[in-house]
Structure 1
Amino acid sequence: MNAMEREAAKVVHALRERGFPAFFVGGYVRDKWLGRPVKDVDIATAAAPEVVMDTFSKTVPTGLQHGTVTVLSGGFSYEVTTFRKETGYSDYRRPDQVEFVGALEEDLQRRDFTMNAMAAGPDGEWIDPFGGRRDLEQGRLRCVGEPAIRFQEDALRMMRCVRFAAEYSLQIESGTWQALLEHRHLLKHVAMERVGAELARIMDGADPYRGLGLLYEAKLPLHWAESGPIPHQAWGEAVAQLASADFQLLSDAEQRTLLWLLAAGLRPDATAQWSRALRYSNTVQKRMRAALLVHARLADGLASRQRWVEAVLDNGREAALRWLALARTFQNSSRVLQAIGLSSEQCEAYIHHAEKWLAQMEATQASELKLDGSDLVAIGRTLGRKPGPWISHVQQWLLLQCAMGEVQNDPDALRYAAQMYMRELADKEEIR
């Protein structure tokens, strides 16, 4: 046992010393048995929440209506939940009523899958009334009890079913899979942020390719309340073009998502709509859209240095670096590069040049120019021009010339270039 587990054992023993059964439950028991890393320890007990709070000096009443108290002990936090049963799921997500019970098995019976319905004690006890360990040994994912009832209680369990199957390399038991197909329409009742969170965990998991494939096979995205503009056919095409190994090359879940969206052929605006629907954070939305905008800018003129520079100026250095990282990863895989619109020959040469061009860019935004708007106003005054919209126009032109390496980011060089350009515009009567 590590320090977190030893401290958790103390919590269990403290409850038992007061006469209340207490056990480790849920994901901790599953992952511990599988030999996987454990991040936290959940505890279930016959003690009522009030008793739990009375037993320990530091507690937080995180979910009293559901019997959950967070116990702070030895520098760790543990969710301690009273044995309970649940009834009524009118919203297909959360129980209408929670009743505290005294028996552990009654508590385990309400859980989703057999591998999550096991319990263990710090002294070697093992409680597995529904055969969760046997299912794991046989590589099977199976609902506790009647699958249809489990999915009717909480429709998000269908997303969790896909995630667990992908994460733990399990085959979904036939009755569980059939019940999922028959009840997939209930997913429309689940809040989109919850669906988005499960999808993000699939993309961050051990086998996102299989997870995406199972979602496609089950047609679950068609039943998201606001699924956004990813047609079922496009989803399938992305799955067909990619492979599990492609995703494994990318440790960043956001990069994996970008690869998948590019393979699905989504344009930046459609991606923005989709990511908003799934309630991705604004930061993630902006990052993904910016990287896709870089790709879209390059798609029609890949070999052009100006296209690259414009893409960087429009979307930022970070977006350009994210696109480069994705392209660099797959530069020797023509099949994957074809999925994102590049050939391996184009990619290998272009990445080399693009990285060099990016490193040479002395400025990627107007504020980095060593000549500001007031300088342009002064130059315009010498040419008899009043301040106006032309200032921004000239500033953007200077930024492009500087980024292209045509003009040094030096006050004198920029001033001279601005004067020449403004005279040229004046001759064409394009400055007003």
Structure 2
Amino acid sequence: MIKQKSWEAAFDVIKSLEENGYEAVIVGGAVRDSLRGHVANDVDVATNAVPEEVKTVFARTADVGISHGTVLVIHPLSPVEVTTYRTEGTYQDHRRPDKVHFVSSLAEDLKRRDFTINAMAMSGNQEIIDLFGGKEDLQNGVIRAVGEPVERFKEDALRMLRAIRFSAQLGFEIENSTFDAISKQAKDLHFIAKERIKAEFDKIFVSEHPQKAIQNIQQSGLNQFLPGDYSQMELWEDFKADIGSWKGWAFFCLLQPKQDVELLNVFKCSNNEKKRVKDIIDAYQLLISDGWTKRNYFEYEFEVLKTAFEFANYLKKAPANPKSVEEIKQIKANLAIQKKTDLVVTGHDLIRWSSQKSGPWLKETLEKILTEILENRLKNDQQHIKKWFLSEYSRSI
């Protein structure tokens, strides 16, 4: 027995369903990953019991997707999604089936799935049920569509990008007829919401082999139906988004002809992602042109500076200084102040000292004071600042 709460819960759910006369198995990525020696956290169960029957077996359930046959069983160890075996009707929008039909056959359920490595099942006694050669494809490192690949991609056009994402995550090759079908159906990608496409790119960027994905996007022709430029695939060879997908988005934008961060709007990235990426691009450009001032070290968070520095080194455009990430950390830590609220004077102080009315000069003066302190030309001391302000700056107001 696999000793992990989510697996133990799934096996317990299977046992309960079988004791009540139903058939049940673990399906999907959990089976694939377990065969690779990677124990997945999300363990889903499929059954010939319809949702109403599933709900009679368990004391606590939630209707998370009951129209598509899914019931969430609230198990003490871990919640488990239980879905009725099903087939799907036509896909008018290349995204969602028009109808879902519950069936009693596991074989019928498995043959509707996208790729052979995702179309295996595991019984309660951990026997692998493999009807489409998924185990062999897993051993050989192949992404192959279940059945006719053109039909699979017509059903859900996102599967084309999923094939490419799996190749990047697993380091697998896409089987020839499956790859040819991607090229043939590439135009259907425009049916897919940008949010769903963005989610696939998030996973590509943090994968082990992002260059493989960029290359497959370019060579399959999907790039013609995706925002952005994918021509500099060779620069992705050693790229690693070790701290999150936002690092991949920053590198992707950096490689665009005009280092275009507006691309993130098209992909429906979050405001936090957009700000982080813009900061990295700006910090990168400052670093490779004039270098960073202490004000730059103050304004940008450490992860932004670190990422911009790593990009500059990776692209062989880094200046002589700083020499290392550790030096960046040290410079930032040694700044006279760490945040604007550390400043010991406010606009009210400047108004009181100068007898001037509020205006644009106030913000400008505070910014100048901040820079003077960061450059160690002025102490963050109220009396020192007052003396400097009255003698050096108030005359120009």
Q: TM-score, normalised by structure 1?
A: 0.86
Select 1:37's aligned residue among 36, 39, 45. Answer: 39
SS at match of 2:293: helix
CA distance in structure 1 between the partners assigned to 2:188 and 2:200 by the alignment = 16
Select 2:351's aligned residue among 347, 357, 377. Answer: 377
- Matching of residue 337 in structure 1 with residue 315 in structure 2: yes
Deviations 1:150-196 (A, max 9, x none): 00100100110001111112111110000000111111110101000
**Which residue identity does 2:267 align to in structure 1?**
L
Range with bigger deviation, 291-300 or 154-163: 291-300
Contact 2:378 2:384 in 1 (8 A): yes
Q: How much does 1:294 deviate? A: 1.6
CA distance in structure 1 between the partners assigned to 2:16 and 2:179 by the alignment = 41
SS at match of 1:76: coil
- The structure-2 alpha-carbon separation of the partners of 1:148 and 1:96, relative to structure 1 and needing over 3 Å to count, comes to same
Contact 1:312 1:364 in 2 (8 A): no
**Which residue identity does 2:231 align to in structure 1?**
G
Higher helix share: 1
Q: Partner of 2:244 in structure 1? A: 252
Q: How much does 1:9 deviate? A: 1.2
**Which residue identity does 1:261 align to in structure 2?**
C
Q: How much does 1:301 deviate? A: 0.9
- Matching of residue 402 in structure 1 with residue 373 in structure 2: yes
CA distance in structure 2 between the partners assigned to 1:312 and 1:251 by the alignment = 20
**Which residue identity does 1:342 align to in structure 2?**
A
SS at match of 1:187: helix
- Matching of residue 322 in structure 1 with residue 303 in structure 2: yes
Contact 2:69 2:102 in 1 (8 A): yes
- Matching of residue 262 in structure 1 with residue 254 in structure 2: yes
Q: Partner of 1:290 in structure 2? A: 279
Q: Partner of 1:141 in structure 2? A: 143
Contact 2:9 2:80 in 1 (8 A): no
Select 1:299's aligned residue among 288, 292, 295. Answer: 288
Q: How much does 1:4 deviate? A: 2.7
Contact 2:253 2:263 in 1 (8 A): no
Q: Partner of 1:90 in structure 2? A: 92
CA distance in structure 1 between the partners assigned to 2:111 and 2:236 by the alignment = 39
Q: Partner of 2:336 in structure 1? A: 362
Q: How much does 1:348 deviate? A: 4.8
- The structure-2 alpha-carbon separation of the partners of 1:421 and 1:252, relative to structure 1 and needing over 3 Å to count, comes to same
Select 1:158's aligned residue among 157, 160, 163. Answer: 160
Contact 2:309 2:318 in 1 (8 A): no
CA distance in structure 1 between the partners assigned to 2:351 and 2:309 by the alignment = 43
Contact 1:27 1:116 in 2 (8 A): yes
Instruction: Quote the RMSD (CA, aligned, Å).
Output: 2.1
Contact 2:284 2:308 in 1 (8 A): no
SS at match of 1:199: helix
Deviations 1:337-372 (A, max 9, x none): 32xx325xx255486765444233223554331011
Contact 1:23 1:45 in 2 (8 A): yes
Q: Partner of 1:411 in structure 2? A: 382
Consecutive unaligned residues in structure 1, runs of 5 or more: 426-430
Q: How much does 1:329 deviate? A: 4.6
Q: How much does 1:18 deviate? A: 1.7
CA distance in structure 1 between the partners assigned to 2:82 and 2:188 by the alignment = 30
SS at match of 2:81: strand
Contact 2:149 2:178 in 1 (8 A): yes
Deviations 1:227-246 (A, max 9, x none): 2xx3x3xx222x223423x3
Q: TM-score, normalised by structure 2?
A: 0.93
- The structure-2 alpha-carbon separation of the partners of 1:157 and 1:369, relative to structure 1 and needing over 3 Å to count, comes to same
CA distance in structure 2 between the partners assigned to 1:386 and 1:371 by the alignment = 17
- The structure-2 alpha-carbon separation of the partners of 1:114 and 1:151, relative to structure 1 and needing over 3 Å to count, comes to same
CA distance in structure 2 between the partners assigned to 1:62 and 1:392 by the alignment = 52
Contact 1:42 1:79 in 2 (8 A): yes
Q: Partner of 2:267 in structure 1? A: 278
- The structure-2 alpha-carbon separation of the partners of 1:260 and 1:99, relative to structure 1 and needing over 3 Å to count, comes to same
**Structural mapping, 1:75-114, within 5 Å:** 75-114=77-116
Q: How much does 1:265 deviate? A: 5.3
**Which residue identity does 1:309 align to in structure 2?**
K
Q: How much does 1:199 deviate? A: 0.3
Q: How much does 1:19 deviate? A: 1.6
- The structure-2 alpha-carbon separation of the partners of 1:251 and 1:361, relative to structure 1 and needing over 3 Å to count, comes to closer
Q: Partner of 1:428 in structure 2? A: none
Q: How much does 1:5 deviate? A: 1.8
Contact 2:141 2:172 in 1 (8 A): yes
Range with bigger deviation, 358-367 or 63-72: 358-367
- The structure-2 alpha-carbon separation of the partners of 1:118 and 1:99, relative to structure 1 and needing over 3 Å to count, comes to same
SS at match of 2:64: strand
Deviations 1:106-132 (A, max 9, x none): 001110001111111021332211111
CA distance in structure 2 between the partners assigned to 1:196 and 1:377 by the alignment = 49
May I ask how many residue pairs the two structures share in their alignment? Answer: 395
Q: Partner of 1:240 in structure 2? A: 234
Q: How much does 1:299 deviate? A: 3.3
CA distance in structure 2 between the partners assigned to 1:352 and 1:22 by the alignment = 54
SS at match of 2:231: helix
Q: How much does 1:404 deviate? A: 1.3
Percent of matched pairs sharing the same residue: 31
CA distance in structure 2 between the partners assigned to 1:179 and 1:301 by the alignment = 49
**Which residue identity does 2:307 align to in structure 1?**
L
Consecutive unaligned residues in structure 2, runs of 5 or more: none
Q: How much does 1:145 deviate? A: 0.5
Contact 1:298 1:308 in 2 (8 A): no
CA distance in structure 1 between the partners assigned to 2:170 and 2:117 by the alignment = 11
Contact 2:27 2:46 in 1 (8 A): yes
Q: How much does 1:254 deviate? A: 2.5
Contact 1:298 1:311 in 2 (8 A): no
Q: Partner of 1:199 in structure 2? A: 201
